[in-house]
A and B are shown apart, each in its own frame.
Chain A
Amino acid sequence: MNDDLTKLTLIGTLEALEKNEFSKEELNHAYLGRIKELNPKLNTFLNVQESSNGIPAAIKDIICTQNIVTTAGSKILSNFLPPYNATVVEKLLSQGISVIGKTNLDEFAMGSSGENSAYGATKNPWDLEKVPGGSSSGSAAAVAADLCTFALGTDTGGSIRQPASLCGVVGLKPSYGRVSRYGSIAMASSLDQVGPITKSVADARQVLEWISGPDGYDSNCVQNGFTIKDLRFKNNLNGLRVGMPKEYFGKGLDSGVEKVIREAIKKLEDLGAEIIEVSLPHTEYAVAVYYIIMSSEVSSNLARFDGIRFGSGREDFGAEAKRRIMLGTFALSTGYYDDYFAKAAKVRTLIKQDFEEAFEKCDVIVGPVSPTVAWNLGEKTADPLTMYLSDAYTIPASLAGIPGLSVPCGFSDGLPVGLQILGKYMDEETILNVGEVYEQNTECHLRKPNIEGLEGVGGLGNE
């Protein structure tokens, strides 16, 4: 019984509660029991809330929760008790959602593996020796392991989509400005977006409706919230034009992953979509542009962590945070600004234009989320550049501010692979619609990891 409750999607849970099939107490009890059992193996939660009267959601620990410690995965904020809730948290609370716990992440959301957390790495529920992806590592792993009905993550360069892909769950990065960032501790302000990580595409659509909408605390948040409308595509994708960027199928893409992605695209075609090859010619510059703009904003955003008003001192920053502060400080310095920041900003505009031109020919763009499946813990920690390149397919959409969805589409070497569906600016509706039709006509999302049967590497991997 308990296990069955935790396997329900958010929509399934809402329906069951509506029908009084079980109470919210039973629901919370089931999830808390499972967390107690599995969190020691996975290290997904940094803290767990013993509440019992809401629909339990896991919140990435970079999103401020009033009077619940919010660490951003950093030692600096180990005792930080926010005096306020992030707008997204307020919006969820008003829908009867409760915070079941705060999830582990790379420090200040900087990382692609979860290993940059000051509180130890999160483990991938499909294989405890693998990374879950990052930076929303705990959120993706918690959803994959059925430790919550859904989770919130944040995505700056792929931090929702990539761990969702590596953990075999649905992850949506909304368009920049769709969801308020107020209360989400900033990494790179022009890129950060809060979004859902869920067990189904319909769940993601529901959560987006809840958390989007205008906010008098985020000037970049648009007036129009996302509302659920009649779906254009029901059981097929007749009339849909799917763009396949050739730049996303080149060097660096693992052959096993490529095979799964091409099969998924074939499936879209079988469902009636027209597949069109498109080009995003500036893709090769995206990682470089991202690391200049992102780190520049990081160097400024992390300046407030001076240990005066809250938190501990700067000596408690982790290595990756320090690396990015230095990179960004350099890129903004007199004499370098024009060659680095200003040039990167120009190329960012070109990347945006790439998408605009491609979207004249197609409705959505599809490709891999990650060039590989989950890799071994520790495999890339010594080489930051290799780690950075693992985000090559998610970064361009972040720079362009367009929405992106990761949908489970198969397995390679027994590990999940996610299909990335990118949409036009503010057109989450179409990518969710396409994702859902795909989901309903495939079976891979039904597979669940067998965590109870996995042998962990032991301990929490605290550094």
Chain B
Amino acid sequence: MSKYEPVMGLEVHVELNTKSKMFCRCSADYFGEKPNTHTCPVCLGLPGALPYINEKAIEGCMKIGLALGCKVAEVSRFERKNYFYPDLAKGYQISQYRWPLCVRGEMEVVGLEGKRRIRINRAHQEEDTGKLSHIGGVTLIDFNRSGVPLVEIVTEPDFTDTAQVRDYAKKLQQLFRYLGVSNADMERGDMRLEANISVRPVGQKELPPYRVELKNINSFRFMVAAIEYEIKRQIEALERGEKLTQETRGWNEEKKETYLQRSKEEAHDYRYFPEPDLPELRISESEIQRIRESAPELPWKKETRFMSEYGLSESNAKILSESKEMAEFFESSVEDGRKLGVGPRQIANYIINQKPDISVKVAEKIKVMDVGVIGDIGELGRIAEEVISENPDLVESYKKGKVTVIQALVGAAMRKTGGKVDAGKVREILEGKLG
């Protein structure tokens, strides 16, 4: 057992899939578009241009915040985060700092030692930057992404193992899709992860006096690998008696190691101050209520409900609540099944095993299979006769007392009818005829 334990927090950025950008009317659907075609004076940061708030984005941020159990601040503010980078058109990013839109939420995650509550510090609204491409010694800038709405979700340093981190990130991704606020595609950069990692001696209560920020990690797998590497690196450094300091590190996937990007001395002073171009954001209680009520049932709630309401196993419930579409398909099938006398567990099994297209009427399919049996006893009898005459060896074994071969005869009946017979009933009839 190690003498050290990791202390970790996560910052997740997610691009919202609003029609237009955060502060202008340009289309925010930029992926794969010709560079610099989704731009205007505002997102290019031209002299004289001003930001104008996209209310749909604010709504998206509130949906996320509320789903994470955050409180939506009655009054919040945008601030300017000042730094120079060629992809940052205005020389500052409009973000939130001292007065975020959503504060103090939590999420339950599962790690190596079971369930754990992770406190969410905030979910705030900001804007994306342009994108740089370094090609043959020159750097090109595409401002199509500049000003696309971005929500940043920051946790408290509550993670203690990488399984929790992975579960948290996965659950967030699922949440964004459920809420319909983002495609949350890691590869496309819709969702980006940053982890703050430090380690402390087991038993120590205070937070370590430093933290290492891991940036620019574009897959769950790389993130877990990077964090594990980093924990190991830090423990080894501390054991050698080294003093660790604040720094930003990246992940080199080829070498499977983290590398220094920026040390404490090079850290930016962002000179945050209230964005004078924008008024305070005031959100009324009725607005919050409206968003709360329009929110879909969350995946983890659905999962437990599927177990209690439909008697599904935990694993089946998890699979069927994986996506909102899947869950809706399942529940509408259950609804159909209610009228046709087809149970939820039958439906769950069918969906999970057969993986039908969502256009398929699952309950009717199951019903049709049932109908072949119940509706025509004579037909079933004929099928049984055929099976008996076609499988003399099995019949003989059965008659000699090897009653288990009845299963093989039932199977033959199933094959013959394409599964449209009720195994129990066929068995009964077969037993009657052979008895």
Contacts and interface: CB of A to CB of B under 8 A. Distances in A.
Contact of A297 (B42, B91, B276): B276
Nearest to A80: B47
A110 to B, nearest CB: 15
Given A189-B276, A220-B278, A310 B46 contact: yes
A341 B273 contact: yes
B278 A219 contact: yes
B269 A182 contact: no
A309 B277 contact: no
Interface in B99-144: 141
A329 B84 CA distance: 13
A303 B330 CA distance: 54
Contact of A309 (B42, B44, B53): B44
Interface string B269-300: 10111101111000000000000000000000
B279 A219 contact: yes
A219 B46 contact: no
B259 interface: no
Contacts of A304: 45-47, 89-91
Interface string B227-263: 0000000000000000000000000000000000000
Contacts of A84: 41, 46, 48
Interface string A298-327: 011011111011110000000000000000
B207 interface: no
Nearest to B47: A185
A113 to B, nearest CB: 23
B52 A309 contact: no
A86 interface: yes
Contacts of B278: 219-220
A299 B50 CA distance: 16
A72 B51 CA distance: 20
B341 interface: no
Contacts of B80: 300
A300 B82 contact: yes
Contacts of B279: 219-220
B91 A216 contact: no
Nearest to B269: A334
Interface in A186-240: 186, 188-190, 216-220
Q: How large is the interface on A (under 10, 10 to 19, 20 to 34, 35 or more residues)?
A: 35 or more
Contacts of B53: 219
A332 B48 contact: no
Contacts of A299: 82, 271
A333 B268 CA distance: 10
A414 interface: no
Nearest to B267: A334
B368 interface: no
A216 B52 contact: yes
Contact of A303 (B49, B52, B91, B274): B91
Contacts of B48: 63-64, 70, 82, 84, 86, 182-186
B92 interface: yes
A188 B269 CA distance: 21
B45 A309 contact: yes
A140 interface: no
A300 B47 contact: no
A459 interface: no
Contacts of A305: 47
Contacts of A117: none
B46 A83 contact: yes
A181 interface: yes
A296 B82 CA distance: 11
B132 to A, nearest CB: 11
Contact of A217 (B50, B271, B272, B274): B50
Interface in A284-306: 296-297, 299-300, 302-306
Nearest to A70: B47
B50 A181 contact: yes
A181 to B, nearest CB: 6
A63 B48 CA distance: 7
Contacts of A405: none
B191 to A, nearest CB: 28
A337 interface: yes
B86 interface: yes
A147 interface: no
B341 to A, nearest CB: 57
B56 to A, nearest CB: 15
Contacts of A309: 44-46, 89
A167 interface: no
Interface in A259-299: 296-297, 299
A337 B278 CA distance: 20
> Which of B48, B49, B52, B91 gathers the greatest number of chain A CB atoms within 10 Å?
B48
A142 interface: no
Contacts of A189: 50, 276-277
Contacts of A86: 48
Contacts of B269: 333-334
Given A84-B41, A306-B84, A332-B82, A188 B47 contact: no
Contacts of B141: 308
> Which of A80, A188, A216, A218 gathers the greatest number of chain B CB atoms within 10 Å?
A218
Contacts of B271: 299-300, 329, 332-334, 337
Interface in A81-113: 82-84, 86
Given A219-B279, A303-B91, A333-B269, A182 B50 contact: yes
A71 B349 CA distance: 71
Contact of A190 (B44, B49, B276): B276
Contacts of A186: 47-48, 50, 277
Contact of A219 (B49, B52, B86, B274): B52
B44 A220 contact: no
A77 interface: yes
Nearest to A220: B279
B138 to A, nearest CB: 13
21 contacts: A80-B47, A82-B46, A82-B47, A182-B50, A183-B49, A186-B48, A186-B277, A188-B276, A218-B50, A300-B91, A300-B92, A300-B273, A302-B91, A304-B47, A304-B89, A304-B91, A306-B84, A306-B91, A309-B45, A332-B273, A337-B273
Given A82-B46, A300-B271, 4 more contacts: A183-B48, A219-B277, A306-B84, A332-B271
Interface of A: 63-64, 70, 72, 77, 80, 82-84, 86, 181-186, 188-190, 216-220, 296-297, 299-300, 302-306, 308-311, 329, 332-334, 337, 341, 345
